[in-house]
Amino acid sequence: MVNHYRYSRWDDSQYQDIPGLDELFDSLSEDVLRYGDLSRAIRQFLQRGFEGSSGRQMHGIQELLQKVRRQRQDMLARHNLDSLQEDLRRRLDDIIRQERQTVQERLKDDAAEPEGGAAPNQALRDLRQRLARRNLEALDHLSDNPGEAVQQLREYEFLNPDAGAAFQELLKMLRQSALDSFFKDLSQRFQQMNGDDLRRMQEMMAALNQMMREKLRGGEPDFQQFLDRYGDLLGPNPPNSLDDMLQQMRRQMSHMQSLLNSLSDQQRESLLDALGSEMFDPEFQRELAELATNLDLLNPSGIRGRDYSFFGEEDVSLADAMDLMRQLDQMEELERQLDRTRFGSPLDEVDPDLMKGVLGPEAANQLEELKRLAQQLRDAGYIQGDAGDVKLTPSAMRKIGQKALRDIFARLRRDTMGSHRTPERGHGVEPADQTKEYEFGDPLDLDLKRTLFNALRRNGGLPLRLTPSDFEIRRMEHMTRTTTVLVLDLSRSMPMRGNFVAAKKVALALSTLIRTQFPRDVLYLVGFSGFARELDKDELPHLNVGEFGRGTNIQAALRMARSLLSRHRLGQRQVVLITDGEPTAFFEDNGHLAIEYPPGPRVLRETLTEVRRCTKDGITINTFMLEQSYHLRNFVSQLTRANRGRVLFASADQLGEYIVEDYVDKKGWRSAS
């Protein structure tokens, strides 16, 4: 058999799927447990990104944000806007120097000619001298402000043709910048425009003003007709609608406004003088003025622009400065779009073309990869629902529970077969007639006939190729039955002390353990703070503090647990209490909630009364304390004497190990007896 391979240049498009999606979901589940909110967990996950065990990294929104901010800072640190006025001043100085030299040479040459020549020649020489002296006087009285000097030189008659041509080039550059403040790509075409083109552009502005007036009156202008006539003036990618064109014009005006905002008062005044409307004929000026007025009327919020603080040394021309403003404004807009995702804005609102233009194609690919994440989680069967109401699927719930169980048992000592440790020899179980699909943590007691049949049905014939999904194992018949109520403290101190996520993990792990390893056992879940209520196992990942009122009402939690255990009279009955503080709340005989903080004698008395009721009903209370203060130890000591259960003081990272190991040890002892 010959294998054929095809190679091509890597362009980052080869990433069709996010590798290690299961591993990625495991990381996401940590945020689900931490925040109790899948939508928020996904947002946080997208913000920070993900790095798998294989080293494949998916950068998050924060990394993209940092790239934008670094690029903007580099640009501000490299350029210097002070050079705008210096560039204009330097150009004018060169023009004035050439002209002044020509004027002075004219005066010198005329002065060298002998007096008393022919009358016509003498008259011509006198005229030349008067013109030269007038020009020299005009040059001597030019303003020190470059903008005002440009305005004064518009009426000046140059004697030096090179100086005159250089001044016309300067005026053209200023006209291009003025047009840049309204129209995208138009200044580039302006370089080749003749008088007819300028008249056509003026007609285009008149037609545009007419459409804007019609829009202000509530009409629907025919933009396609406008595009058919003037589309070639609007660059290679003309706008699709009037609204698109107005939006482009607002962006262009915003770039110019950002430039003006970033200049000092003197620089701004000088630039505005240089860009004065006198560079166009009166009709052109009128159309431009009406264009600006109509844009303001159609955009009540106005054109504000931004203010950038440049502190570099690299000089820029006016054209370069406008391009800098465009790039910086795009960075600001991209940063705004990315930052809004922290507060629930969907990634679809981040413009991929803007991302590509600012940070390049690699960053655009990263953005698309992040956008595909939610869909891939749906395709993998982990989440369901739309963006406004996304939920975990039952498969995802099982996976979170299996991960919690796997994390806990990774720290436990196991025998060679991976079964749980017991103090007696023997399995303590016997095979049942039923079989089940193999799940993580199950003893590998295969029902060979059912396993082979599954493989045959899946393959459709011989040869058989076994996969883990074909495995079917024998169910084990336990000799005892245990009913457990896991009571979870949901008071505000739990997340404040870093214990909340660990406690939820334990509840999930214990639920998964009982469902898969001890299917005849029963587990109830109760959450409490000021009040207590029974929880569904599917609620566990989404639990959060604050919904059960104020305080730590252990009395209410034990009362609820005792009520649930009263449904089961056979087998072992126990309460597993996870908390980080002594009781601070209880219900009075009239049903009113009373809060005592610091804990007083009444709250301790009422709580211990409920403990004794549990003891009288044969219920064992095993308490797992996450703090070790003096008052807490005193309360726990009284609880233990009243119930004779066990108390373990544990940190958050030890909590799961102690609870699950204790539960399994008990099952082993009971089974062996």
How does pLDDT run across 534-551, given as a tens digit for each residue? Answer: 998 778 887 877 677 788
Asked if 362 and 63 count as a contact pair (C-beta separation under 8 A), the reply is: no
CA distance 306 to 303: 10
Residue 233 lies in a domain: no
167 closest CA partner among 275, 93, 60, 80: 93
Q: How many residues appear in the chain? A: 673
- 3-state secondary structure (DSSP) of residue 123: helix
Burial 229-251 (b: 16+ CB within 10 A, else e): ebeebbeeebbeebeebbebbbe
Residues 649, 633: one domain?
yes
Range of the structural domain that residue 48 is part of:
21-78+331-392
% the chain with pLDDT above 90: 8
In this prediction, residue 417 carries a pLDDT of 34
Residue 429 has pLDDT above 50, yes or no: no
In this prediction, residue 553 carries a pLDDT of 92
In this prediction, residue 56 carries a pLDDT of 66
- 3-state secondary structure (DSSP) of residue 209: helix
Residue 338 lies in a domain: yes
Residue 608 lies in a domain: yes
Lowest mean pLDDT across 115-119, 148-152, 321-325, 605-609: 115-119
Of 478, 494, 515, the residue that ends a domain is 478
Asked if 362 and 13 count as a contact pair (C-beta separation under 8 A), the reply is: no
State pTM to two decimals: 0.57
User: If you average pLDDT over residues 175-204, what whole number do you get?
Assistant: 63
Of 417, 450, 478, the residue that ends a domain is 478
User: If you average pLDDT over residues 369-398, what whole number do you get?
Assistant: 76
In this prediction, residue 277 carries a pLDDT of 47
Residues 64, 91: one domain?
no
Residue 127 lies in a domain: yes
In this prediction, residue 347 carries a pLDDT of 82
Which two structure tokens, joined as six digits, stand for 576?
A: 């597993």
In this prediction, residue 662 carries a pLDDT of 74
In this prediction, residue 575 carries a pLDDT of 92
Asked if 69 and 144 count as a contact pair (C-beta separation under 8 A), the reply is: no
Residue 288 lies in a domain: no
In this prediction, residue 519 carries a pLDDT of 78
User: If you average pLDDT over residues 219-234, what whole number do you get?
Assistant: 84
Nearest-5° Cα angle at 612, 510 to 559: 55
Residues 27, 117: one domain?
no
In this prediction, residue 582 carries a pLDDT of 86
User: If you average pLDDT over residues 251-269, what whole number do you get?
Assistant: 72
- 3-state secondary structure (DSSP) of residue 647: strand
> Alpha-carbon torsion 35, 39, 43, 46, what sign?
positive
- How many domains does the chain fold into? 4
Residues 61, 98: one domain?
no
In this prediction, residue 480 carries a pLDDT of 55
pLDDT single digits (tens) 566-583: 888 778 889 989 888 889
Top pLDDT among 5 and 210 is at 210
Mean confidence (pLDDT) of the chain: 77
In this prediction, residue 110 carries a pLDDT of 64
Residues 434, 558: one domain?
no
**Cα-Cα-Cα-Cα dihedral of 112, 118, 119, 125, to 10°?**
-20
Residues 73, 101: one domain?
no
Q: What is the 3-state secondary structure (H, E, C) of 135-203?
A: HHHHHHCCCCCHHHHHHHHCCCCCCCHHHHHHHHHHHHHHHHHHHHCCCCCHHHHHCCCCHHHHHHHHH
Residue 494: in which H helix or E strand, if any? helix 493-496
Residue 560 has pLDDT above 90, yes or no: yes
Q: How many CA atoms lie within 13 A of 436 on its CB side?
A: 16
Residues 380, 499: one domain?
no
In this prediction, residue 423 carries a pLDDT of 39
373 closest CA partner among 47, 54, 68, 65: 47
Lowest mean pLDDT across 100-109, 170-179, 279-288, 316-325: 279-288
Of 345, 374, 392, the residue that ends a domain is 392
How many CB atoms neighbour CB 34 within 10 A?
A: 17
User: If you average pLDDT over residues 226-236, what whole number do you get?
Assistant: 80
Top pLDDT among 186 and 628 is at 628
Nearest-5° Cα angle at 505, 502 to 511: 145
Top pLDDT among 60 and 54 is at 60
Residue 322 lies in a domain: no
Residues 67, 90: one domain?
no
Residue found by looking up tokens 């013109």 in the block: 131
267 pLDDT band (50/70/90 cuts)? low
Please, where are the H alpha helices in 217-351?
Answer: 223-230, 242-261, 265-274, 282-298, 318-340
Residues 155, 128: one domain?
yes
Residue 420 has pLDDT above 50, yes or no: no
Long-range contacts from 147-151, C-beta under 8 angstroms, 24+ separation:
147/88, 147/269, 147/270, 147/271, 147/272, 147/273, 147/274, 147/275, 147/276, 148/270, 148/273, 149/92, 150/88, 150/92, 150/174, 150/273, 150/274, 150/276, 151/273, 151/274, 151/276, 151/278
Asked if 312 and 78 count as a contact pair (C-beta separation under 8 A), the reply is: yes
Which two structure tokens, joined as six digits, stand for 603?
A: 């709250």
Residues 555, 615: one domain?
yes
How many CB atoms neighbour CB 255 within 10 A?
A: 25
CA distance 238 to 249: 12
User: If you average pLDDT over residues 314-333, what whole number do you get?
Assistant: 82
How many CB atoms neighbour CB 395 within 10 A?
A: 13
CA distance 326 to 263: 16
pLDDT single digits (tens) 329-338: 888 889 998 8
Asked if 31 and 45 count as a contact pair (C-beta separation under 8 A), the reply is: yes
Lowest mean pLDDT across 131-135, 148-152, 544-548, 642-646: 544-548
Residue 416 has pLDDT above 60, yes or no: no
Lowest mean pLDDT across 272-276, 379-383, 513-517, 668-672: 668-672
One-letter amino acid at 158 equals: F
Residue 277 lies in a domain: no
In this prediction, residue 666 carries a pLDDT of 67
> Alpha-carbon torsion 514, 518, 524, 526, what sign?
negative
Burial class of residue 383 (count of CB atoms within 10 Å of its CB; 0-12, 13-18, 19+): buried
- Sequence-distant (6+) residues with CB within 8 A of 602 are 586, 594, 596
Residues 516, 662: one domain?
yes
608 pLDDT band (50/70/90 cuts)? very high
Asked if 483 and 521 count as a contact pair (C-beta separation under 8 A), the reply is: yes
Top pLDDT among 508 and 408 is at 508
Asked if 206 and 282 count as a contact pair (C-beta separation under 8 A), the reply is: no
In this prediction, residue 411 carries a pLDDT of 56
CA distance 229 to 231: 6
Residues 436, 520: one domain?
no
Residue 259 lies in a domain: no
Residue 428 has pLDDT above 60, yes or no: no
Asked if 435 and 475 count as a contact pair (C-beta separation under 8 A), the reply is: yes
Top pLDDT among 181 and 226 is at 226
